[in-house]
Amino acid sequence: MKFVLKIGGSLLNYRESLNKLCNVLGKLAAKYKMLIVPGGGDFADLVRSIDKIFGLSPLASHRMAILAMDQYGILLADITPNSTIIHTLNDVEKVWETEKLPILLPSRLLFTSDELPSSWDVTSDTISAYIAKLLRIEKLILVKDVDGIFTRDPKKYSEAILLEEVTPEELIDMRTCVDAFLPKFLLLRKGMFCYVVNGLYPERVKQILEGKKTIATIIKA
C-alpha cells in the first residue's frame, strides 16, 4: 500500500510533538511506502500577510505559498531521520527502494505542471491530493493539529462533534480544517480515501497506515 502524507504547518506550534512525529515516520519508512508533502504553516502565513499589504496577483501569491511549502519541507527533512528531499515524482520509487522517506519540495513540479487554480482556496491540502492523483495513490493522509473534521470549530465550541466519515458533497458547504477547494477536487477524484488525523498523536497516523480504526475523519470520494 502506498500513501501520500501532508504534514500540516500548524504542527510547527508543537516542537516536541512534531519532532516525535517525524521520528516515528522516519522509522516507519522501512515498512510503508510514504511520500511526505509539506504544508505551509508560518511560511505561508507570511505570504498571506504580504498579499494583504501589496494586493499581489493570484498567481504570484499562489507561487509564493508553494515556495513556503518548500521551506517547510527543508525543515521537515532536517528533523526527520532516514528522510531525503526530492524535487520530482520520478524520484519517489527510487527513494522507496532504499527504504527511506521521500519529502517532496513541490515548487519545481507545480511551477511546470500545476493544473490547480491560483487561489487561497487551494492550499497544501488540495496540492497533496493533486500529487496523489498524479502518482495514482488512493490513500491520502492530512496530518493536522485537530482530531479530524468537526461539525463546528472544536477550538471555539465545546459542543462540536467529530465526524468519523464525511463525503466531499457534505464538505462543500462546511467550514472545516481542510481547504475550500479540496471537496471539489475529491468529487472529481473517485476512489480516493482522504484521512484527516491529529499529528500530535503519532500512533493514530501509524494505525491508519496499518489499516486499523483510530480517531480521525475519513473523506470518502
Question: What are the pLDDT digits (tens) for 123-146?
Answer: 999 999 999 999 999 999 999 999
Which residues, at least 6 apart from 7, have a Cβ–Cβ distance to it below 8 Å?
21, 36, 37, 38, 39, 72, 76, 143, 199
- At residue 165, φ and ψ (nearest 5 deg) are -150, 140
Give the model's pLDDT for residue 87.
98
Condensed to tens digits (0 to 9), the pLDDT of residues 14-24 reads 999 999 999 99
pTM of this prediction? Answer: 0.97
**pLDDT tens track for 165-187:** 999 999 998 989 999 999 999 99
DSSP letters of the chain?
-EEEEEE-GGGGG-HHHHHHHHHHHHHHTTTSEEEEEE--HHHHHHHHHHHHHHT--HHHHHHHHHHHHHHHHHHHHHHSTTEEEESSGGGHHHHHHTT-EEEE-THHHHHHH--S-SSTT--HHHHHHHHHHHHT--EEEEEESSSSEESS-TTT-TT--EESEE-HHHHHT---SS-TTHHHHHHHSTT-EEEEEETTSHHHHHHHHTT---S-EEEE-
pLDDT of residue 81: 98
pLDDT for 106 beyond 90:
yes
User: Is 3.90.380.10 the CATH classification of the domain at 2-159+185-220?
Assistant: no
Q: What mean pLDDT is predicted for residues 136-157?
A: 95
Q: How many residues does the chain have?
A: 221
* Per-residue pLDDT, 155: 84
Position 99 scores a pLDDT of 97
* Per-residue confidence band for 113, with pLDDT thresholds at 50, 70 and 90: confident
For residue 189, the model assigns a pLDDT of 84
* Mean pLDDT, rounded, of the chain: 97
Average pLDDT of span 29-40:
98
What is the predicted pLDDT for the residue at 218?
98
Residue 221, pLDDT score: 78
d(CA 146, CA 135) in angstroms, rounded, equals 27
| Domain locations in the chain as residue ranges | 2-159+185-220
In this predicted structure, what is the pLDDT of residue 190? 82
Q: Does 114 have pLDDT greater than 90?
A: no
